[in-house]
Structure formats: C-alpha cells, structure tokens
Amino acid sequence: MPKIIIPVPREETPVLFTFAPLAMLRIAKMLKEAGYEPVILDAKQLKDDFLPRLEKEFKDNPAFVWCCGKLGRQLIDLMAAAKLAKKINPELPVVFGGWYYPLDKKASLAPDFVDYVVSGQAEYTLVELADALTKGGDIQQIQGLRGKNEDGSIWEAPPRAWERNLDVFGPYPFDMIDMEFYVSSDNGRCQPMVAGTKRSINYTYSRGCHGMCSFCHTTAIWDRAWFSHTPEHVTKELNHLITEYKVEGIDFHDTNMFTGLGRARKILQGFKDGGHDIRWKCSVRVDQVNALTTEMMELIRDTRCAEFAIGAESSSSRVLGLVAKEVVATEIVDCSKRCEKYGILPAYSFMVGFPDEHNWEDSKATLSFMAMLRHIVPNAMAEYFYYTPIPETPLFKGYASSYLPKHDTLEDYLIFSAYDPNMPWVDDKLPVLLKMATRFYFRFAIPTDDMKQRMRGKGPVGIALSVLRRLSDWRVRNRRYGFPFEYKLARFVKDVLIKKLGLFKKFGELL
C-alpha cells in the first residue's frame, strides 16, 4: 500500500493552540479509502522530532508529499519538509496546496522543491494524482492541478468544479490522529481554544463566505460562494465529539458561521435539544450580528456561546471603504452593545499598517476606537494585525501590488505574515506605538476590576496608579502618544530595577 506523507505545520510561534488538522484528516480519509496509506505528522505534536520523523518516512519511498497550509509560520515548516524530501530523494513528488499557494501561479511553482500545486478542493484531485503516479496516467489532465514542464514552463489542467454537498466526504476520521493531544490543549502547555473549558476542539462545517472584503483570501478563492454540511451531519458529528472525546468546547473555524443562517439555527437547536453542557465560539460579521432576530440571539445565548470573533478592521471610513467591509464604525458599536446585552464576549480584529497610510492617522484612530469598544464591553478583546497582501485578492491587484517587495518564489513569501510588521512600508516606529498603546496605556486607561481596586488605594502605589490612569486615558482619548515619559519610566522600573536588580518585585505585576 503506497504511502502519502502529510506534514502538518505549526500555526504560530510559540504554539498557542493545538488545532486539529481537519483539512488533512479529510484528505487522509479519501486517500485511505482509495487504497493508500496516509501518514500525518504534526509539527505541533512532534516538536523537535518533526523533521527526523519526516526523514524516516521519506526514505520509505512514498507516492508523494502533500504540503498544505498558509503563508507565514506555516510556510516555514512546509518548505523545510519539502526541501528535506528532495534532499533524500530528488524524484519524490512534492505537492503544495491550500488557500494561498494556488493564487500565485508563478511563485508557487518556482522552487525546485515543488512539483505540483492543487487549486480549489483537493479531495478528488489528490486521489487521482496518487493513481496517476502509482498506476500510470496523464497527470496533466487531472482537474485542479498545475505543474511545470522540463523547460520550466507551467502547464495547467482545467479547473475542478466545487463539490458543494460536503456530506459526500463523510465524517472526519478522528481516529486517525491522537485526539487527546488536540482536545486536552497539549496537557496544559497551550491555551484552551474556548475560554472556560478544559477540553475543546476546533471544528469546520462550511466553506466560503458571501462577504466581499477586498483583502481576504476567501474572496479570491471561493468568489463569494458558500456551501456546507447539512445540520443533521453536523449535529451527529458534534454529538460524537462530545460523548466519545468528552469535549467541553467547540471552536467553529468556519469563515462565517451564520452565512447559512437556517443551517446555523438548526445546529444550535441540536445543541439545545441534546442537553449538552458545552461552550462554543465562532467567527461572524458585524452586519450579521446586528441583523439577527431576538429569538436567534437568545438561542445563541442559551446554547452558551462564549465569544464572537469579529473582523472590525478599522474605525477609519477610508480604510473600511478600502477593504470593502460593508459596515461603518457606528455599526461596530451597535454590535458591541448587542453582544453585551446577551452576554457574549466580542473579540475584534483590526488591520493596521497600510502602505499609503500617512502619519499613522488611521492606526491612531483605530487605537482610540479599540479603547472605546473596551469601555462598552470591559472584557472585550481587540487585537491588531498588519495588512498582508494576498495574491489575486481585489485589494492586491488594484492597490497593494505597486508597493510590494519582490515575490517571485515561495521563499519571498516568508515575510508575508499578519502577525509581524515585515512589509517594507511599515515604519519601525509604528510597531512600538501599537505595542505601547495596547499593552501599557490601555491597561491603565481601561482598568480591570482588580486594577480599579488598586487605584483606589491611599498609599504611594494607589496614587501612582491613579495618576497613570488619568494620563493614559488622556493619551488614548486624544491620540497623543508623543514623549511617553511615564511609559519609559515604567519600563525602566520593570526592566532594570525589578528584573535586573531585584527591587520592588511586588510592583512587577502592575507594570
């Protein structure tokens, strides 16, 4: 039985969440049913043993290596796996795929360690490729596949039509991986995916999104289409996760949970009817939350929704228009108030660091807006990410491409990460401002209940904290971060007096 090696890359460094490789499981199931032996090796689980284990499998003459993932951190692991495969056996086929690599046809096939790239759904394409490689066949006629000729030119087979009925793929084969590793948050070394739970798992029941966000890879790949499993399939599979693996939390990784509102309602009703005591979270759009009926919001609340992950992107009308978000800042505020009313924690993501931003005015406005949202829902989360151009997205083609650094091969895409200020147009001082504002000034301008209690103290610490609160609130509200003497003083106290000299240790947690 020929092997197919499937390396699973880490999502981030350090590893924060032990996400189960659902997409890889579905591929593995299709390959196994077709008579192949899929071998899934997850870098999150194997850690330092990742490449040695791959090396051992590569020497066993597999049919091919399937490298699927995103740009940034995942690409580092996938490239390492691909290069190792070619080092051991230059004839071993390496296939790349996923959401990003098919979008840049030239760059994805430029490296000598990549033989083929899959576009779109890979379930059928990879089975047909395995058959062609092991039994013979015309690879260039496999729909959804592209490769390169001996002279380096690229050939591309016709596209593969979407399989819109995801039920045909059947349930995820959870028995093919060590579920305890993923459900138990790596025995406490990683964060739980759903707050307030000890055993949680990620789950995806749909693909695509109807939104037209101009920066999003989903827009480029799915062309605003959306399709999913049936509610009956999802309910049965979630019941299996809850009963078989003692799951307490479900982290829905669907791009947009409520695109199929009727299906989402039936899934949540299945939660309620089943009497399961679990918590869950998902990704939603601002306009969707505002449009949900009272009945639906009550169902969401009653089934113990812990969090809505919401792409707010910006408070700047210019940026919201640029990224085609289809909302305005006041609607984001309304969304926060609605979440507060029903006891759901909003977790907002914002986008900063655009190439044509001058004097960081958009980013400063977004910082003030983030703070305002935190005032509405005190425990609300608001994180910022750097704008990262994705090939073939509307914003890439009509805006970002003129600013981009060289991106002729996959190695050039290693710097494409929303977590790091790697793009050449990002001023070195902007990350300093963002970190200073969100990690220091926000802490005192929007204090937790514990911090408020400390600020009421009458001793020197209480007085100092009270002064810091007033200064921080003024800076955040007025977007004035110049000459941050109090921040620099606090850093001196923490980095020098506390950490190096061991003085005033009891104040370390306050800074």
**Which segment of 185-199, 278-292, 445-459 scores lowest on mean pLDDT?**
445-459
Phi, psi of 202 (to 5 degrees): -85, 150
Same domain, 148 and 178: no
Confidence of residue 343 (pLDDT cuts 50, 70, 90): very high
pLDDT digits (tens, 9 = 90+) for 392-422: 888 887 787 778 877 888 888 888 888 889 8
**Which segment of 130-144, 391-405, 422-436, 480-494 scores lowest on mean pLDDT?**
391-405
Same domain, 66 and 51: yes
The reported pLDDT for the residue numbered 296 is 96
Q: In the predicted model, is pLDDT for residue 219 greater than 90?
A: no
Burial of 13 (0-12, 13-18, 19+ CB in 10 A): exposed
Q: In the predicted model, is pLDDT for residue 309 greater than 90?
A: yes
Same domain, 211 and 105: no
- Rounded Cα gap, residues 269 and 207, in angstroms: 21
**Which segment of 282-286, 295-299, 312-316, 498-502 scores lowest on mean pLDDT?**
498-502
Tell which of 279, 311, 344 closes a domain: 279
Tell which of 100, 130, 156 closes a domain: 156
- The CATH number of residue 435's host domain is 3.30.750.200
The reported pLDDT for the residue numbered 466 is 85
Confidence of residue 498 (pLDDT cuts 50, 70, 90): low
Q: Tell me the percentage of the chain whose pLDDT exceeds 70.
A: 97
Tell which of 428, 447, 466 closes a domain: 447
pLDDT digits (tens, 9 = 90+) for 87-127: 999 999 999 998 777 778 888 999 999 999 999 889 999 99
The reported pLDDT for the residue numbered 501 is 60
- Rounded Cα gap, residues 31 and 6, in angstroms: 11
Q: What's the number of CA atoms in the CB half-sphere (13 Å) around residue 186?
A: 17
Confidence of residue 70 (pLDDT cuts 50, 70, 90): confident
List of residues 6+ apart from 216 with CB closer than 8 A = 209, 390, 393
Q: In the predicted model, is pLDDT for residue 277 greater than 70?
A: yes
Same domain, 380 and 395: yes
Four-residue CA torsion sign, 417, 419, 420, 425: positive
Over residues 423-442, the mean pLDDT reads 91
Same domain, 307 and 388: yes
DSSP strand pairing (64-68 vs 94-97): parallel
Over residues 257-278, the mean pLDDT reads 89
The reported pLDDT for the residue numbered 64 is 97
Confidence of residue 375 (pLDDT cuts 50, 70, 90): confident
Contact present, 333 and 380 (Cβ < 8 Å): no
- The CATH number of residue 32's host domain is 3.40.50.280
- Rounded Cα gap, residues 137 and 152, in angstroms: 21
203, containing H or E segment = strand 200-203
Residue 375 CB: number of other CB atoms within 10 A?
Answer: 12
Q: What's the number of CA atoms in the CB half-sphere (13 Å) around residue 411?
A: 6
Q: In the predicted model, is pLDDT for residue 129 greater than 90?
A: yes
Count of structural domains, the chain:
4
- The CATH number of residue 223's host domain is 3.30.750
Same domain, 295 and 323: yes
Confidence of residue 511 (pLDDT cuts 50, 70, 90): low
Q: In the predicted model, is pLDDT for residue 500 greater than 70?
A: no
Same domain, 268 and 198: yes
The reported pLDDT for the residue numbered 377 is 86
Same domain, 296 and 308: yes
- Rounded Cα gap, residues 455 and 442, in angstroms: 15
The reported pLDDT for the residue numbered 380 is 83
The reported pLDDT for the residue numbered 507 is 59
Q: Across 23-32, 394-403, 480-489, which has the greatest mean pLDDT?
A: 23-32
Q: In the predicted model, is pLDDT for residue 506 greater than 60?
A: no
Same domain, 428 and 492: no
Over residues 437-457, the mean pLDDT reads 84
Provide the mean pLDDT of the chain. Answer: 89
Q: In the predicted model, is pLDDT for residue 359 greater than 80?
A: no
Same domain, 419 and 499: no
Same domain, 340 and 428: yes
Same domain, 410 and 262: no
- Which residue range(s) make up the domain with 429? 285-447
Q: Tell me the percentage of the chain whose pLDDT exceeds 90.
A: 54
Q: In the predicted model, is pLDDT for residue 388 greater than 70?
A: yes
- Rounded Cα gap, residues 446 and 371, in angstroms: 7
- Rounded Cα gap, residues 248 and 254, in angstroms: 19
The reported pLDDT for the residue numbered 451 is 79
Q: Which amino acid is at 177?
A: I
Give the position of tokens 């869950």: 280
